[in-house]
Chain A
Amino acid sequence: MTAADTALPLLEARALSFFRQDEPVFAPLDFRLHAGELALVEGDNGSGKTTLLRMLAGLLHISAGELHWRGEPMQRDRCAGEILFLGHQLGLKADLSPRENLRIAAGLHGMREGAGAASVLARIGLRGYEDEPVRRLSAGQKKRAALARLLLLPASLWLLDEPYANLDRIGIALVNDLLESHTDTGGAAMVTSHGTVSFHGGEPRRIRMHD
């Protein structure tokens, strides 16, 4: 990676806001996210954290302000496949096993080099549950099955909406590990949380949501 690449922010928001029935969901936001950075989006319930993430993922339109991806206005094809979004709905088919769910995700997004479904599921703590229908897994295990996508799919920006919800202490440490190795390898991540979070390796950037 050259110096010019690192200087250019991966994601840049200028006076970004979203209106629902002419009411702003959150006050205009300005932030920059560079490769290798981790940003924590903080705010109370209903402060618009999920809305912001869905907007950054490209699911919601931009009501006001500007959003730039690698220095250019954000467009669907420009960042296609570079952003991985994990929302409240996990995007898992309940009738399929974690392995089958991963296979579909890899079929659509592609796979990281050297990654495989079996090793990813073992790393995420689902060894022995690879072929169990997701319907029969616990809430925390479902979350882990969804988080396995982070390890398997190639993406430079992770948008994680409440990744810690439903996870036990080991699971929370696991998410922190994933985030650390992702930012170490030049990826960036935005994480929402309404609780206190302690990341490895120093303070993350904080983006505070105001009504």
Chain B
Amino acid sequence: MMNRPSLASACAAMLRRDLTLAWRRRGDIAMPVLYALIVTMLFPFALGPEDTLLQRIAGGVVLVTVLLAMLLALDAMFASDIEDGSLEQLVLAPQPLALMLGMKILAHWLATALPLIVIAPLMAAMLHLPGVVIPVLLLALVLATPLLSLLGAVLVALTAGTRRSGMLLALMLLPLCVPAVIFAAGAVAAAQQGLPWLAPVAWLAAALVLAVVLAPLACAAALRIALDA
């Protein structure tokens, strides 16, 4: 008598919704990109145009800048959905909430992190990072940025009930993103010195796999609690 939509079409509807919303607010997407470009551009001015120095710090600067730029957009992940009641409707929908939130996180990553990854080679070139290292840098970013999105989503969900959660969010996220930064920067540094860089990348990938499975579940539980008040 009732025809439930399949899981795949519900996921597609969710993804499409959030990407449409992101596209309608293109200015918000441009903000982190501009921020990352400006920060990277300022480093050579502040430190002087010495090739050796810039090359040595390039990988780390790009990574940290991208992660900080992502932080700018992070606390908006569930805020508008809580405000306008969309989250209530999502919780009541006959679909697995964790999976739907996973789609939201994916859409958020596509809208905020992907543009940053696209401009990362430009940022690396501005700091004279050798061309051969750039693929490793991109690989590290492709693994580290979704990890940050997922960890960030859990924290955003946990702080959803509190007002002015931005500060709390940044403080809580800092220790969690340290391992991601260490492994990502380690891979880039190793590649720059001609050493094998697979091990840190494998660690990043392992952490990402764990987060992909667990973070949406944690988000779902946290948001249910946030609404139950």
Contacts and interface: CB of A to CB of B under 8 A. Distances in A.
Interface of A: 57-61, 80-81, 83-85, 87-96, 100, 103-111, 113, 154
Given A107-B13, A154-B2, A100 B20 contact: yes
B5 A107 contact: yes
**For the complex of A and B, 4 pairs with smallest distance between CB atoms:** A107-B13, A89-B85, A81-B94, A80-B94
Contact of B4 (A84, A104, A110): A110
> By DSSP majority rule, is chain B's interface helix, strand, loop, or mixed?
helix
Nearest to B86: A91
A87 B5 contact: no
Given A107-B5, A107-B9, 6 more contacts: A59-B228, A80-B94, A81-B94, A95-B21, A154-B1, A154-B3
B21 A89 contact: no
A23 to B, nearest CB: 14
Contacts of B84: 89-94
Interface of B: 1-5, 9-10, 12-14, 16-17, 20-21, 24-25, 80, 83-86, 88-95, 100, 227-228
Contacts of A106: 5, 13
Nearest to A103: B13
Contacts of B20: 96, 100
Contacts of A88: 85
A106 B227 CA distance: 23
A93 B94 CA distance: 20
B90 A108 contact: yes
B227 A96 contact: no
A91 B84 CA distance: 5
Contacts of B14: 104, 107-108
Contact of A59 (B9, B80, B227): B227
Contacts of A103: 13
Contacts of A81: 2, 4, 93-94
Contacts of A60: 228
A91 B85 contact: yes
A110 B2 contact: yes
B228 A90 contact: no
A154 B1 CA distance: 9
B17 A96 contact: yes
